[in-house]
Amino acid sequence: METVTWSKNYETGNPIVDGQHKNLFVMINNLKVGLSEKQSKITLVDTIERLSSYVEIHFKTEEDLMQTSHYPDYAKHKEEHDSLREQAEKLIQLFKMDKVDLTATISKFLSDWLQHHINEIDIKMIKLIHLSRI
In 3-state terms the chain splits into helix, strand, coil percentages (rounded to 5) of: 80, 0, 20
* Tens digit of each residue's pLDDT (9 = 90 or more) over 12-62: 999 999 999 999 889 888 888 888 888 888 888 888 889 889 999 999 999
| Separation between Cα atoms, residue 102 and residue 62, nearest integer Å | 27
48 contacts: CB under 8 Å, gap ≥ 6: 31, 92, 95, 102, 106
- The model's pTM is 0.86
pLDDT at 4: 78
| Separation between Cα atoms, residue 121 and residue 129, nearest integer Å | 12
What counts of helices (H) and strands (E) characterise the chain?
5, 0
Q: How confident is the model at residue 74 (pLDDT cuts 50, 70, 90)?
A: very high
Greater model confidence, 65 or 97: 65
Ordered domains of the chain (ranges, CATH): 16-32+40-59+71-133 (1.20.120.50)
Task: Check pLDDT > 80 for residue 120.
Answer: yes
Average pLDDT value for residue range 106-130: 81
pLDDT at 58: 94
